[in-house]
């Protein structure tokens, strides 16, 4: 079984060789495909010396870069590694063993937060203890909720896919501008097969200001960046929602999309854009629980001065979002 690793790169130059080397250290046999939006003679030469495939894809959306990587890959299984993250030794062998000996189509492993020097910041605590296990599709409501709580929808650097089922959705990749991890999780649910949740931390997730922190230079900058992120995330969610219509994942996709739309309202300064959208009455759960949904609803429906006070508290607490 051959494994391909796609490394999408947008503008950044300082991390890509480290990412490639971490894959090669995990497995010398893995195919590495770097898809970036620039040419650089020194970096291009180094990529080739590392034995990786170098592709220049000038389109801006992240989905187009990953789409190109899937199309160019020769592996039976495809992993994605964000350029500033790294794989731990043993990850590729672990993935090969799981995909060779099961009907798994989607794999997700735990991650360790590290700084730019690679020093561990520890594993982020979750609401429930991560447990290793296989989930069949279509999952029941309880299993889907557990998969969500395990954050199997989060962090492309923790994901691997059997290539063939995913290729049925490949043309929709180019519609996704930014939030690929949630999209990939949802189309994997549609593609079927088993899902494997690995409790082992095989991914080093780099936390740094340029990638993760949208606190901004001041409060207004923070609000602008947060609203823009959630606006793009909401638009991305409409792609998977459209694909899920009439399927067992529609409720999940719609609940996620509504949560993102409400997040846009939460971070909107213009009061005309502030509008709460409620979930249908028959929905059993919401992405981050009914308590969080109630807090967002209360903030959106509060007087403007109260909502701005809440946003300033979020700003001062160093709110973070996913990386680009």
User: Per residue in 32-57, pLDDT tens?
Assistant: 999 999 999 999 999 999 999 999 99
| pLDDT band at residue 211 using 50, 70 and 90 as cut-offs | very low
Count of CA atoms in the C-beta half-sphere (13 A) of 293: 17
Q: What is the pTM (predicted TM-score) of this model?
A: 0.91
Average pLDDT of span 154-170: 97
| pLDDT band at residue 260 using 50, 70 and 90 as cut-offs | very high
Residue 260 Cα distances to 165, 209, 230, 266, angstroms: 27, 23, 6, 10
**Average pLDDT along the chain:** 89
> Which pLDDT does position 220 carry in this prediction?
86
d(CA 53, CA 50): 9
d(CA 114, CA 148): 23
Other CB atoms within 10 A of residue 118 CB: 11
* Spatial CB neighbours of 185, under 8 Å, sequence gap ≥ 6: 106, 152, 153, 159
| pLDDT band at residue 320 using 50, 70 and 90 as cut-offs | low
Lowest model confidence (mean pLDDT) among 81-85, 124-128, 184-188, 242-246: 124-128
Average pLDDT of span 239-266: 94
Of 297, 312, 302, 314, nearest in space to 262 by CA: 297
The 3-state DSSP composition of the chain as helix, strand, coil percent (nearest 5) reads 50, 20, 35
Q: Are strands 77-80 and 159-162 parallel, antiparallel or unpaired?
A: antiparallel
> Which pLDDT does position 213 carry in this prediction?
40
């Amino acid at each position: 079984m051959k494994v391909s690793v796609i490394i999408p790169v947008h503008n950044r130059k300082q991390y890509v060789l480290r990412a490639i080397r971490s894959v090669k250290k995990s497995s010398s046999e893995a195919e590495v495909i770097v898809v970036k939006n620039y040419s650089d003679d020194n970096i291009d030469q180094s990529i080739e010396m590392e034995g990786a495939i170098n592709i220049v894809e000038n389109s801006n959306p992240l989905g187009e870069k990953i789409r190109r990587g899937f199309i160019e890959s020769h592996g039976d299984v495809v992993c994605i590694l964000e350029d500033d993250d790294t794989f731990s030794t043993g990850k590729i062998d672990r993935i090969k063993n799981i995909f060779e000996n099961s009907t798994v189509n989607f794999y997700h492993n735990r991650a360790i937060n590290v700084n730019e020097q690679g020093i561990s910041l520890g594993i982020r605590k979750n609401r429930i203890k991560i447990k290793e296990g296989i989930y069949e599709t279509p999952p029941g409501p309880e299993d889907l909720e557990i998969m969500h709580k395990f954050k199997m929808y989060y962090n492309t650097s923790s994901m691997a896919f059997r290539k063939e089922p995913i290729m049925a959705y490949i043309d929709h990749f180019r519609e996704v501008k930014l939030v690929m991890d949630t999209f990939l999780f949802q189309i994997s649910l549609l593609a079927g097969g088993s899902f494997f949740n690995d409790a082992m931390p095989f991914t080093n997730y780099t936390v740094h200001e340029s990638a993760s922190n949208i606190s901004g230079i001041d409060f207004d900058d923070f609000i602008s960046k947060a609203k823009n992120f959630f606006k793009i995330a909401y638009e991305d969610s409409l792609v998977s929602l459209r694909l899920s219509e009439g399927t067992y994942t529609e409720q999940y996709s719609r609940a996620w999309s509504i949560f993102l739309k409400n997040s846009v309202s939460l971070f909107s300064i213009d009061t005309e854009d502030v509008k709460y959208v409620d979930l249908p009455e028959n929905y059993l759960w919401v992405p981050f629980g009914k308590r969080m949904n109630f807090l967002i609803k209360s903030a959106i429906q509060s007087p403007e001065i109260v909502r701005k006070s809440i946003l300033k508290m979020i700003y001062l607490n160093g709110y973070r979002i996913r990386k680009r």
